[in-house]
Structure 1
């Protein structure tokens, strides 16, 4: 199959309005007019803290591009606090050629989709579509395009489109549109920062010994999250999804991975009042590393994704 050529989202043209929230190295705002009284002192302290705390330089994640096999597709049944809530799909679509000017050359395209159903859809109808390009060798994210649409229960906006462009390792640009509001943001981030789909692929690629941990970061919309995962060894849940047996997976061939997510700033410091979310993932220990079950504890209940269908790569 001949890979199709794929042009990456490009930054705004010259002259377009742009807001860069991250500090720009070598350029600092003047606080001379605010340096009188307590307010000026508080600003000076905040700036001193920003300058004195370096951006962390974590080791680069091990390459995992060879684990991304075009044609592989997953479908999950989604439940919330025990009630049917919808479905989700994830697939490795294909390998594409990037624009000739792009240094990466080729990329793997991932695609995800989720939508509400059942009891939850009586309150709100939500669709969430995301498409990501990953480096064909390392698995590092190149770009991400996310579209979320709400009907019913209001959440502050009905339609949101977020484009994230990764500028190599350690920097990115975001174009975020919520209804008629628009925001552009540039950020410096830790070198191990993924987008949501590449983060899931990274976790799936890990081969950890029991008790061994791994850490990375995820850019979810405008929020930077630190993800910490640890292997609990072979440990199956009380009930595996019915598809497990048809896929030849027995309870003693399942690994449990526990995780924590917390929102941080670009220097990896937890945001004030940031809530810590916990998660559990159960994967097959064979070469397929199939995600059989994923659970996330939220403040109003538990979100659960159970594998319902698996299409292997050709």
Structure 2
């Protein structure tokens, strides 16, 4: 069981921000990540606005019991140019640093929205490539921001373009149902969505990833779960400066 890889996955998937028209200048979300009910790590995501840009940083760190045989310390960063009005905008830069035991990865991507090109580099192996992108391409962090600005209707699907420093993926996101869930920070009315992961590697074989977003204008991810070969991985919101005064929880 590659627990460290799953922790890294949640660092990319469990991300939160407000729609462009309701954006808070600073945002912090903290999640506990557990495997079969045992806490395995913590994911923290922080958002800050700098002029016309959004800066997103997410980190995942393993718990002390996992550190004894497989230390995880991952960091991903995305810089997004904000759009005008209610338009979300587009990514300018993405960087992903993985440190899991003896495994290391350091990649970055620079997006050219005018030419619809992206240049990505593997900074450890000293390689680079240039790929074509669509006008609505996002990196693995900023894609969640974009999805949360859309109208999510149970029973319908939407399709998003994600560039992961290797390939452009057109991914279906199914909007499944409305559901109330209990978390350490309260009970929430949510909309459950299921991204149909098409990326290669380990996660292409796990499947059944579900994300619970608050059923309001903010669409804050409060829980994520995925089944794996042995048990289930779950990440749950546990704290942070996450809830503007205009938001309301489930009654």
Q: Shorter-chain-normalised TM-score: which range?
A: 0.7 to 0.9
Alignment-derived partner of residue 162 in structure 2: 218
Structure 1 segment 133-172 matched on structure 2, within 5 A = 133-137=79-83, 138-151=88-101, 154=102, 157-158=103-104, 160-168=105-113, 170-172=116-118
Structure 1 segment 103-114 matched on structure 2, within 5 A = 106-114=52-60
Alignment-derived partner of residue 184 in structure 2: 242
Alignment-derived partner of residue 190 in structure 2: 254
Measure how far apart 1:276 and its partner are. 6.8
Give the superposed CA RMSD: 2.5
Q: 2:43 aligns with which of 88, 97, 100?
A: 88
Instruction: Please state which structure has a larger fraction of its residues in strand.
Output: 2
CA distance in 2, matches of 1:244, 1:205: 23
Alignment-derived partner of residue 304 in structure 1: 234
Q: 1:190 to 1:297 in 2, by over 3 A?
A: farther
Measure how far apart 1:275 and its partner are. 4.2
Q: 1:299 to 1:66 in 2, by over 3 A?
A: farther
Alignment-derived partner of residue 73 in structure 1: 28
CA distance in 1, matches of 2:100, 2:161: 27
Q: 1:123 to 1:141 in 2, by over 3 A?
A: same
Alignment-derived partner of residue 287 in structure 1: 217
Larger radius of gyration: 1
Which stretches in structure 2 are left out of the alignment for 5+ residues? 1-18, 246-251
CA distance in 2, matches of 1:86, 1:119: 10
- Secondary structure at 2:142 match in 1: helix
Measure how far apart 1:257 and its partner are. 1.3
- Secondary structure at 1:209 match in 2: coil
CA distance in 2, matches of 1:184, 1:131: 19
1:193 aligns with 2:137: yes
CA distance in 2, matches of 1:262, 1:67: 31
Which stretches in structure 1 are left out of the alignment for 5+ residues? 1-63, 97-105, 265-270
How many equivalent residue pairs? 219
1:115 aligns with 2:61: yes
Calculate the TM-score normalised by the size of structure 2: 0.77
Calculate the TM-score normalised by the size of structure 1: 0.62
Alignment-derived partner of residue 23 in structure 1: none
- Secondary structure at 1:235 match in 2: strand
Measure how far apart 1:223 and its partner are. 4.5
1:263-284 Cα offsets, whole Å, 9 max, x none, are: 38xxxxxx9xx64733111121
* 8 A Cα contact 2:206 2:228, kept in partner: no
Measure how far apart 1:224 and its partner are. 3.8
CA distance in 1, matches of 2:165, 2:36: 25
Q: 1:208 to 1:146 in 2, by over 3 A?
A: same
Measure how far apart 1:119 and its partner are. 4.2
- Secondary structure at 2:113 match in 1: coil
* 8 A Cα contact 1:107 1:134, kept in partner: yes
